[in-house]
Amino acid sequence: MEKLIITAAISGAEVTKEHNPNVPYTVEEVGREAESAYKAGASIIHLHVRNDDGTPTQDKARFKACMDEIKKRCPDVIIQPSTGGAVGMSDEERLQPTELGPEMATLDCGTVNFGGDEIFINTENTIKNFGRILMERGVKPEIEVFDKGMIDYAIKFQKQGFIKKPMHFDFVLGVQISASARDLAFMVDSIPEGSTWTVAGMGRHQIPMAMIGMAMGGNVRVGFEDNVYISKGVLAKSNGELVEKVVRIAAELGREIATPDEAREILGLK
Supply the mean pLDDT for the chain. Answer: 96
Going by C-alpha positions, the residue among 20, 63, 60 that lies closest to residue 239 is: 20
For residues 153 and 127, is the Cβ–Cβ distance under 8 A? yes
For residue 1, what pLDDT is reported?
Answer: 81
Report helix, strand or coil for 194.
coil
Q: How far apart are CA 82 and CA 267, in angstroms?
A: 17
For residues 212 and 181, is the Cβ–Cβ distance under 8 A? yes
Q: Report the CATH architecture of 6-267.
A: Alpha-Beta Barrel (3.20)
Going by C-alpha positions, the residue among 78, 76, 85 that lies closest to residue 101 is: 78
Q: How far apart are CA 124 and CA 91, in angstroms?
A: 12
pTM over 0.95? The answer is yes
For residue 16, what pLDDT is reported?
Answer: 97
Kindly report, residue by residue over 11-57, the tens digit of the pLDDT.
Answer: 999 999 999 999 999 999 999 999 999 999 999 999 999 999 999 99
Q: How far apart are CA 91 and CA 123, in angstroms?
A: 10
Q: Is the pLDDT of residue 86 over 80?
A: no
Kindly report, residue by residue over 150-184, the tens digit of the pLDDT.
Answer: 999 999 999 999 999 999 999 999 999 999 999 99
Q: Is the pLDDT of residue 87 over 80?
A: no
Overall average pLDDT of the 223-231 stretch? 98
For residue 214, what pLDDT is reported?
Answer: 98
User: In the structure, what pLDDT confidence band is assigned to residue 103 with cuts at 50, 70 and 90?
Assistant: very high
Report helix, strand or coil for 132.
helix
Report helix, strand or coil for 106.
strand
